[in-house]
């Protein structure tokens, strides 16, 4: 650590998870990352974000890898640095609400296989959807990092976020993450937000953002001035664009100041050297699209995250209606207002975006309604930041009653049923969780695993 630095900024390195999730749809393989993990472990990071988010889905669906095995391999190589994961509250890593027994078992197995810090968030900032995961993490002696999803709306002001952070601290959080998934947090706002949170919350604060709107490094610098404890960065080959600010320039910028990170630029450069040829190969294969590396001002104009924008473009292309993009972008804030100003993060970003597309293509608002939009209005995703008007409720769900309690309270325990359903495939306890989250995708993976085993056995028989 640098001399005389009383309050160093700590860094969470995202290159093993969010950096490649943001830039190349989470396609980096374990074999591509594993050789550098021991070196990353020597850097002195606060943590390595290495699991969760979309890594689980991508391992099973695209890479024919066992995500649990990836975690165990990372843990084996990272002896000194905490491993961190992203966890979608009651959605875990999937796309629906799961019963409490599945959430609890997933947390238990994540920590048993090597996770130290679980960053838990809810798309609507409904604390009730974080409750089970927080309690389960505490029970397993893991570090609970509860996330506040940052967004902009008439109700999302600094007091709103400060009150939410205080509530999460009261629920047992060990630290708070300000999760700016769309790159909307501007530098001076970050300074004011961190300053106020520091006055009101007694646990460490971490800041996560994306470079999409072009302001992220400036935002970090102002947050550092305000006393942020930890920032999320990505090594430069997989930084910028829709990813995080680059690690090395942040370290260089803070050198010699009272917030010096104490990290060694030469060691960081050695780690980056490992990823540079990988970046080049992904560029050549087309998986790394140069357009995601640019600044997207639509983010600030419409509060539309980069990933959501590409989804909208793709939906319109399929209909041959690309010329309607500006109209859809203008409709997004209107739909968001109607649905109670949800933050635009998975899955609410997709729900709001798809409904905006339907409204524009139908030429009439809510003539066609997706089942997910109905789900938000019914309360299946939790409590929206603002109550949905009676007029919109009537239009979207008619006279159906809204669920005002915690939605997971309506779900029966499902772990035993899931175990029975996938009994033929189970080789390790964790397999039931892979099946719980990704059913058919997991079954396909299990089948490929079985086939590979038979091939090996056949080869051994031939040799003997």
Neighbours of 400 (CB within 10 A): 11
pLDDT tens for 218-254 read 999 999 999 999 999 999 999 999 999 999 999 999 9
pLDDT of residue 287: 92
What is the structure's pLDDT at 2?
Answer: 45
* DSSP structure class, residue 201: -
Domain covering 10-285: architecture: Alpha-Beta Barrel (3.20)
Give CA torsion, residues 78, 82, 87, 90, to 10 deg: 120
Residue 5 in this model has a pLDDT that exceeds 80: no
Q: Give the pLDDT band (50/70/90) at residue 302.
A: confident
Q: What is the pLDDT confidence band of residue 1, given thresholds at 50, 70 and 90?
A: very low
Q: Percent of the chain, pLDDT > 90?
A: 86
Distances (CA, A) of 321 to 19, 292, 304, 332: 31, 22, 19, 16
User: Stretch 253-259: mean pLDDT, rounded?
Assistant: 97
Q: How far is CA 85 from the centre of its chain?
A: 9
66-78: b (≥16 Cβ within 10 Å) or e = bbbebbebbbebb
Number of other CB atoms surrounding residue 428 within 10 Å: 13
High-pLDDT (> 70) share of the chain, %: 97
In this prediction, residues 360-383 reach a mean pLDDT of: 95
The whole-number average pLDDT for the span 160-180 is 98
Note every long-range contact of 267-276, with CB atoms under 8 Å and residues 24 or more positions apart, other chains counting: 267/39, 267/42, 267/43, 268/43, 268/235, 270/39, 271/36, 271/39, 271/40, 271/43, 271/235, 272/235, 272/236, 272/237, 272/248, 274/35, 274/36, 274/39, 275/15, 275/36, 275/235, 275/237, 275/238, 276/237
Q: CA torsion sign, 215 to 218 to 221 to 227?
A: negative
DSSP annotation of 288? S
**What mean pLDDT comes out for the span 162-166?**
98
Give the span between the Cα atoms of 179 and 208, in whole angstroms. 5
The topology under which CATH files domain 296-409 is: Cyclin A; domain 1 (1.10.472)
DSSP secondary structure code for residue 418 in this structure: H
Rounded Cα–Cα distance for residues 237 and 280 (Å): 9
Contact 111, 137 (CB under 8 A): yes
d(CA 452, CA 455): 5
Mean pLDDT of all residues belonging to the chain = 94
Q: What pLDDT is recorded for position 4?
A: 62
Return the higher-pLDDT residue of 148 and 2: 148
Which residues, listed in sequence order, are joined to residue 10 by a DSSP beta bridge? 230
Q: Does residue 303 register a pLDDT over 50?
A: yes
Q: What is the pLDDT of residues 36-89, one digit of tens each?
A: 999 999 999 999 999 999 999 999 999 999 999 999 999 999 999 999 999 999
- Residue, of 93 and 313, whose pLDDT is higher: 93
pLDDT of 461 > 80? The answer is: no
Q: Mind listing the pLDDT tens digit for each residue in 113-162?
A: 999 999 999 999 999 999 999 999 999 999 999 999 999 999 999 999 99
Sketch the domain layout of the chain as residue ranges: 10-285, 296-409, 415-463
């Amino acid at each position: 650590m640098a001399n005389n630095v009383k309050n160093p900024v700590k860094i969470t390195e995202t290159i093993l998870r969010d950096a490649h999730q943001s830039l190349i749809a989470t396609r980096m393989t374990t074999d591509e990352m594993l050789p550098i993990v021991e070196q990353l472990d020597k850097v002195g990071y606060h943590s390595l974000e290495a699991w969760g988010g979309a890594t689980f889905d991508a391992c099973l669906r695209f890479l024919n890898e066992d995500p649990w095995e990836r975690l165990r391999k990372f843990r084996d190589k990272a002896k000194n640095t905490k491993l961190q994961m992203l966890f979608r509250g009651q959605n875990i890593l999937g796309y629906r609400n799961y019963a409490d027994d599945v959430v609890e078992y997933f947390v238990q197995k994540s920590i048993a296989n090597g996770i130290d810090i679980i960053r838990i968030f809810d798309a609507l900032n409904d604390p009730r959807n974080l409750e089970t995961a927080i309690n389960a993490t505490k029970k397993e002696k893991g570090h609970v990092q509860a996330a506040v999803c940052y967004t902009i709306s008439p109700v999302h002001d600094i007091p709103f976020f400060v009150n939410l952070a205080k509530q999460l601290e009261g629920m047992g959080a060990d630290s708070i993450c300000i999760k700016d998934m769309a790159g909307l947090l501007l530098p001076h706002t970050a300074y004011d937000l961190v300053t106020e949170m520091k006055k009101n919350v007694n646990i460490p604060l971490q800041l996560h953002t994306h470079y999409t709107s072009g302001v992220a490094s400036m935002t970090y610098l102002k947050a550092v001035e305000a006393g942020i404890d930890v920032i999320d960065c990505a090594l430069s080959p997989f930084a910028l664009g829709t990813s995080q600010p680059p690690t090395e320039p942040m370290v260089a910028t803070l050198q010699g100041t009272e917030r010096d990170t104490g990290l060694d630029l030469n060691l960081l450069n050695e780690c980056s050297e490992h990823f540079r040829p990988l970046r080049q190969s992904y560029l050549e294969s087309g998986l790394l699209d140069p357009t995601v590396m640019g600044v997207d001002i639509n983010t600030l104009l419409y509060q539309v995250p980069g990933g959501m924008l590409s989804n909208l473009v793709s939906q319109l292309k399929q209909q041959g209606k690309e010329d309607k993009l500006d109209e859809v972008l203008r409709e997004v804030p209107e739909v968001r207002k109607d649905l109670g100003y949800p933050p635009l993060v998975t899955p609410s970003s997709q729900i709001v975006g798809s409904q905006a597309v339907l409204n524009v293509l139908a030429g009439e608002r809510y003539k066609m309604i997706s089942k997910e939009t109905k789900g938000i209005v019914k309360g299946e995703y939790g409590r929206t930041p603002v109550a949905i008007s009676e007029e919109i409720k009537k239009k979207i769900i008619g006279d159906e009653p809204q669920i005002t309690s915690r939605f997971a309270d309506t779900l029966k325990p499902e772990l035993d049923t899931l175990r029975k359903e996938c009994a033929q495939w189970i080789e390790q306890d964790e397999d039931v969780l892979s099946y719980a989250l990704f059913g058919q995708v997991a079954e396909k993976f299990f089948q490929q695993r079985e086939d590979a085993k038979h091939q090996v056995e056949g080869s051994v028989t031939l040799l003997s």
